[in-house]
């Protein structure tokens, strides 16, 4: 007993080291499994496409220029004079007012007429969208124009199926309650009815002739800018649309339309004339002094 | 001694608990300080503003709708008929061609004339940008229009200082080599010369009258779309600009312009007439069949 007693401090020390070691190991395992779990159980209602891009875009910034044109590429190009038409101050003012009035009539419209629209007009609005600036002049956009009734219907099925899940399972309690009142909300009739669906894909990277990948700087911002110009072009010819971002449908729609892996769905625009009974919510826009600060 | 010996198991147990507790605490502290360190040593050339948004936007998706208007909000609003002007097929085709031709003349121009531009025209182009659609109709944009020479110069100083560091220290070897040829590249004369600088801020969240924060769904895409419409409006009146994203300058510029914490700089556009000797690189745009797929 005396021997045991005299060994107590040693025994305690050894025991503590052993316990400490086991404890540390179990903690490490716990941390790792926690991490793994949090990786795996990534919330199902988070759009994977957008997540992909998020990662890529933070990598992008590492080598970015502040100007959108790749200066290196640009230096190798001939530079040509640029002398566009100039308007007098009066003309400018008139033009700016007229364009504002036109654009201010634009509304997001979900009631679209099945009436056919000349395809040449659609070609021209897509051409116009293609005049947007882009990071390093990569032009990282693909516009898939769908008029085939079967494909439109498949798109509708994919979106409504996901949307029903979004509404029923992926949204918060507040949404679930709203759902009861808004039964038809995941039903997107316009996807069948509109003569055209324009699916806008951003190319998250490019593929060089050598097969190597090429960074597409700011591809999401660039494609969004081109969508702004597309909206202006549609409004200019009297067509309507609604800017939608089909949640969680990107991979299925990409696969349906056989787009390559570097393309991610950014937006879907149903396009046509407004239905004769089209209605829009009575929304107001902010005044100039709420959106502009003059210094 | 016998008493002490008989108490050994109890003593050992208590000691182990105490040591285990201390160990756990120190581990937790270590983990936290590791996290803090990794937060601090975020690569200096990664734009912090963009990172902020990245985090927020992945959170956004959790409760998102596929349509950009918040349906709940919308349901509470009166719905009004929407019957915009319609054009004949011939008119549409003509209008679409004319608008395409106009937009196709747009180029990114870095040589801007100091010639003054009527402020009313700038007001109208900003009004026009404000007609863009936005997630849940949040209109998450602030356009800061700077014409004050001192403020413009301070902006130039901030951007050139960061740019010099970007070019000299933050960019890869490929860039550093290019630097030797392109000495003047971080010098942005147009920031002093252009009659207006438009700094476009995205509001990453809103603040309700109650003081609570409000999610601004898809704020970056929305503001980029409004920039697309802004570029169209500028082109329409014969003004030029270049879309720039000043790397790492967001916080300093926000502070200079006294913008609130929920606003992050997305783009800076110098605006004016093109200089008489303006040159642009001889870039070509992709053909329609390279950007459009018809299904």
If you search the block for the tokens 């401090």, which residue do you land on?
A: A9
Which is it for strands B292-294 and A141-146: parallel, antiparallel or unpaired?
parallel
φ, ψ of residue A78 in degrees (nearest 5): -65, 145
The answer, for B144 touching chain A at a CB cutoff of 8 Å, is: yes
Residue of A61 and B82 predicted with greater confidence: B82
Q: At residue B173, does pLDDT exceed 90? A: no
* pLDDT band, residue A163 (cuts 50/70/90): confident
Per DSSP, which regions of chain B are E strands? 79-81, 141-146, 196-203, 205-207, 213-215, 263-271, 279-281, 292-294
Averaged pLDDT for residues B154-173:
80
Q: At residue B10, does pLDDT exceed 80? A: no
The three-state (H, E, C) secondary structure of B115-130, written as one string: CCCCHHHHHHHHHHHC
The answer, for A165 touching chain B at a CB cutoff of 8 Å, is: no
Averaged pLDDT for residues A227-233:
98
DSSP A108: B
Instruction: Look at B229 and A103 and tell me if their CB atoms are within 8 Å.
Output: yes
The answer, for B53 touching chain A at a CB cutoff of 8 Å, is: no
Q: At residue A15, does pLDDT exceed 70? A: no
Name which of B114, B145, B116 is nearest B129 in CA terms.
B145
The burial of A59, by beta-carbon neighbours within 10 Å (0-12 exposed, 13-18 middle, 19 or more buried), is given as exposed
The three-state (H, E, C) secondary structure of B51-95, written as one string: HHHHHHHHHHHHHCCCECCCHHHHHCCCEEECCCCCCCHHHHHHH
Instruction: Look at B274 and A82 and tell me if their CB atoms are within 8 Å.
Output: yes
If you search the block for the tokens 């926000």, which residue do you land on?
A: B254
- pLDDT above 70 as % of chain B: 68
Q: At residue B291, does pLDDT exceed 80? A: yes
Distance of CA A150 to the CA centre of its chain: 25
CA distance B11 to chain A (A): 9
Instruction: Look at A105 and B97 and tell me if their CB atoms are within 8 Å.
Output: no
Q: What is the pLDDT of residue A38?
A: 38
Q: What is the pLDDT of residue B57?
A: 38
Angle at A108 between CA B223 and CA B132, to 5 degrees: 25
Residue of A144 and B161 predicted with greater confidence: A144
Averaged pLDDT for residues B235-254:
93
Averaged pLDDT for residues B37-56:
35
Q: Please tell me the distance from the alpha carbon of residue B231 to that of residue A48, in angstroms, as a whole number.
A: 31
Q: At residue A19, does pLDDT exceed 70? A: no
Q: Please tell me the distance from the alpha carbon of residue A61 to that of residue A169, in angstroms, as a whole number.
A: 36
> Among partner residues A43, A111, A295, which is closest to B146 by beta-carbon distance?
A295
Instruction: Look at B68 and A243 and tell me if their CB atoms are within 8 Å.
Output: yes
Contact A229, B233 (CB under 8 A): no
Which distant-in-sequence residues (6+ apart) come within 8 Å of B67 by Cβ? A108, A110, A242, A244
Q: Which two tokens stand for residue B74?
A: 């919308």
Name which of A190, A188, A151 is nearest A273 in CA terms.
A190
Averaged pLDDT for residues B247-271:
94
Q: At residue A24, does pLDDT exceed 50? A: yes
Q: At residue B180, does pLDDT exceed 90? A: no
CA distance A37 to chain B (A): 18
φ, ψ of residue B213 in degrees (nearest 5): -85, 150
Residue of A248 and B279 predicted with greater confidence: B279
- pLDDT above 70 as % of chain A: 68
If you search the block for the tokens 């960074």, which residue do you land on?
A: A215
CA distance B40 to chain A (A): 16
Name which of B193, B232, B81 is nearest A229 in CA terms.
B232
Residue of B166 and B89 predicted with greater confidence: B89
Closest alpha carbon within chain B to A283: B77
Helix intervals (H) in B105-172: 119-129, 149-165
Mean pLDDT, chain A, as a whole number?
80
Q: Please tell me the distance from the alpha carbon of residue A81 to that of residue A102, in angstroms, as a whole number.
A: 32
Contact A267, A227 (CB under 8 A): yes
Averaged pLDDT for residues B165-185:
58
Averaged pLDDT for residues A235-257:
93
Q: Let me know how long chain B is.
A: 295
Averaged pLDDT for residues B22-40:
46
> Among partner residues A107, A131, A145, which is closest to B292 by beta-carbon distance?
A145
Q: What is the pLDDT of residue B9?
A: 61
Q: Of A88-92, A107-111, A247-251, A260-264, which gets the smallest average pLDDT?
A: A247-251
pLDDT 10s digits, A65-112: 445 544 445 556 789 999 898 999 999 999 999 999 999 999 999 999
Name which of A269, A234, A65 is nearest B229 in CA terms.
A234
Instruction: Look up the ipTM and state it.
Output: 0.77
CA distance A192 to chain B (A): 14
Q: Of A120-124, B54-58, B166-170, B255-259, which gets the smallest average pLDDT?
A: B54-58
Q: Of A94-103, A190-199, B66-75, B180-189, which gets the smallest average pLDDT?
A: B66-75
- Mutation target for B interface from A10, A26, A130: give the one with most B CBs within 10 A: A130
* pLDDT band, residue A174 (cuts 50/70/90): low
Q: Which sign, positive or negative, has the C-alpha torsion B265, A74, A59, B35?
A: negative
Residue of A286 and A212 predicted with greater confidence: A286
Q: What is the pLDDT of residue A6?
A: 59
Helix intervals (H) in A105-182: 119-129, 149-165, 173-181
> Among partner residues B96, B110, B220, which is closest to A125 by beta-carbon distance?
B96
Q: What is the pLDDT of residue B4?
A: 53
Q: What is the pLDDT of residue A215?
A: 84
CA distance B215 to chain A (A): 14
Contact A264, A54 (CB under 8 A): no
Which distant-in-sequence residues (6+ apart) come within 8 Å of B211 by Cβ? none
Q: Which two tokens stand for residue A162?
A: 């996901």
Q: At residue B167, does pLDDT exceed 80? A: no
Which distant-in-sequence residues (6+ apart) come within 8 Å of B2 by Cβ? A1
Q: Please tell me the distance from the alpha carbon of residue A172 to that of residue B259, in angstroms, as a whole number.
A: 32
Q: Please tell me the distance from the alpha carbon of residue B266 to that of residue B52, in angstroms, as a whole number.
A: 12
* pLDDT band, residue A61 (cuts 50/70/90): very low
Q: What is the pLDDT of residue B19?
A: 62
* pLDDT band, residue B145 (cuts 50/70/90): very high
The answer, for B46 touching chain A at a CB cutoff of 8 Å, is: yes
Name which of B256, B134, B136 is nearest B208 in CA terms.
B136
Contact A88, A166 (CB under 8 A): no
Which distant-in-sequence residues (6+ apart) come within 8 Å of B64 by Cβ? A45, A47, A245, A247, B217, B218
Q: What is the pLDDT of residue B208?
A: 87
Q: At residue A272, does pLDDT exceed 60? A: yes
Residues of A in contact with B81 (CB under 8 A): 277-279
Phi-psi region of A288 (alpha: psi -120 to 50; beta: other; left: phi over 0): alpha
């Amino acid at each position: 007993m005396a021997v045991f007693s005299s060994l107590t401090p040693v025994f305690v020390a050894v025991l503590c080291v052993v316990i400490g070691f086991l404890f540390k190991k179990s903690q490490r395992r716990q941390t790792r499994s926690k991490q793994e779990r949090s990786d795996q159980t990534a919330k199902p209602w988070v759009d994977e496409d957008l997540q992909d891009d998020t990662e890529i875009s933070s990598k992008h910034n590492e080598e970015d220029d502040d100007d959108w044109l790749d200066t290196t590429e640009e230096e190798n190009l001939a530079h040509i004079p640029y002398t566009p038409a100039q308007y007098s101050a009066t003309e400018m003012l008139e033009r700016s007012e007229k364009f504002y009035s036109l654009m201010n009539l634009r509304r997001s419209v979900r009631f679209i007429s099945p009436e056919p629209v000349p395809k040449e007009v659609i070609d021209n609005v897509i051409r116009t969208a293609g005049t947007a600036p882009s990071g390093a002049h990569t032009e990282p956009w693909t516009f898939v124009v769908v008029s085939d009734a079967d494909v439109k219907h498949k798109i509708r099925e994919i979106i409504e199926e996901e949307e029903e899940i979004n509404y029923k399972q992926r949204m918060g309690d507040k949404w679930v309650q709203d759902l009861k009142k808004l039964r038809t909300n995941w039903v997107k009739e316009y996807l069948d009815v509109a003569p055209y669906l324009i699916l806008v894909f951003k190319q998250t990277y490019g593929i060089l002739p050598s097969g190597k990948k090429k960074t597409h700087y700011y591809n999401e911002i660039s494609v969004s800018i081109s969508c702004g110009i597309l909206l202006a072009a549609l409004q200019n010819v009297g067509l309507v649309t609604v800017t939608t971002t089909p949640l969680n449908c990107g991979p299925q729609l990409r696969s349906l339309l056989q787009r390559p892996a570097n393309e991610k769905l950014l937006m879907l625009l149903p396009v046509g004339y407004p239905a004769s009974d089209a209605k829009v919510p009575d929304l107001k826009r902010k005044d100039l002094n709420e959106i502009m600060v003059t210094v």
